[in-house]
Each structure stands twice: as C-alpha cells, then as structure tokens.
C-alpha cells in the first residue's frame, strides 16, 4: 500500500490530480480507496504562526496576571489570597487551562 498523500487543501489536491497521471489512474480504478488514502493537513500543521501567536498570548496573559497580583500585594492593596480580585483568578485559570489544552499531545486513534 502506498503512503498516505498529504495536501494542504482541496486546491492542492486538484492541482496534483491534474498534473499526476498515476493519481488520475488510481482514482479511475477505485475512487473510494484512493480518497481514503488522502489526508488533509490540519491548520496547526500548515500554519504554525497562528499556534505560536496563541501560545505567546496565553503565556503573556498568565505572566501579566502573576505580575499584577505581585504588584497588588507589594503596594499593600491586598494582604492575602482572599483579597485577589476574582476576575484575575478567573482569567488566570482560563489561560492556564487553554495553554495546557494546546500543549498537551493530541490523542492517537488506533
């Protein structure tokens, strides 16, 4: 069995089909089998900058909340963890959860 062919999008697939006689023949013989061998790359595989920007933004959010809480404690506005504004706790928790979800490996299907 041939390795799975990867295309960034449908246009790339159409271009390959137009220019590759072997791929055309493969589709003439058994289109369903040939289509099953095609894997479309996800956006994270093709556009790594979007992924990087999201990770950097979430990391910056987490760092700014940590620095903000330290600044509030240093200025004397809050004395203990009960005085930390709820919005900072909520945003920080959401950013940490989102970052963990992005950095965790995707489950492998068997």
Residues 6+ apart with CB under 8 A from 17: 23, 24, 27
Sign, CA torsion 39/41/45/46: positive
| Crossing angle of the two packed helices 86-103 and 48-75, in degrees rounded to 10 | 150
Run of H or E including 8 = none
Q: Would you say residue 1 has pLDDT above 50?
A: no
pLDDT at 67: 93
Q: Would you say residue 2 has pLDDT above 70?
A: no
pLDDT level of residue 63 (50, 70, 90 thresholds): very high
Round to the nearest angstrom and report the end-to-end CA distance of the chain: 18
Q: Would you say residue 78 has pLDDT above 50?
A: yes
Q: What is the mean pLDDT of the chain?
A: 80
Distance CA 58, CA 13 (A): 34
pLDDT digits over 34-56, tens only?
Answer: 776 666 556 666 677 888 898 99
């Amino acid at each position: 069995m041939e390795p799975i062919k990867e295309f960034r999008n449908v246009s790339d697939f159409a271009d390959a089909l137009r220019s590759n006689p072997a791929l055309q023949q493969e589709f003439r013989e058994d289109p369903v089998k040939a289509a099953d061998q095609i894997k479309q790359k996800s956006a994270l595989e093709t556009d790594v900058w979007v992924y990087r920007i999201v990770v950097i933004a979430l990391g910056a959010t987490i760092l700014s909340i940590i620095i903000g809480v330290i600044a509030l404690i240093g200025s004397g506005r809050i004395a203990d963890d009960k005085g930390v504004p709820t919005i900072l706790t909520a945003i920080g928790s959401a950013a940490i959860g989102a970052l963990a979800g992005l950095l965790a490996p995707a489950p492998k299907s068997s």
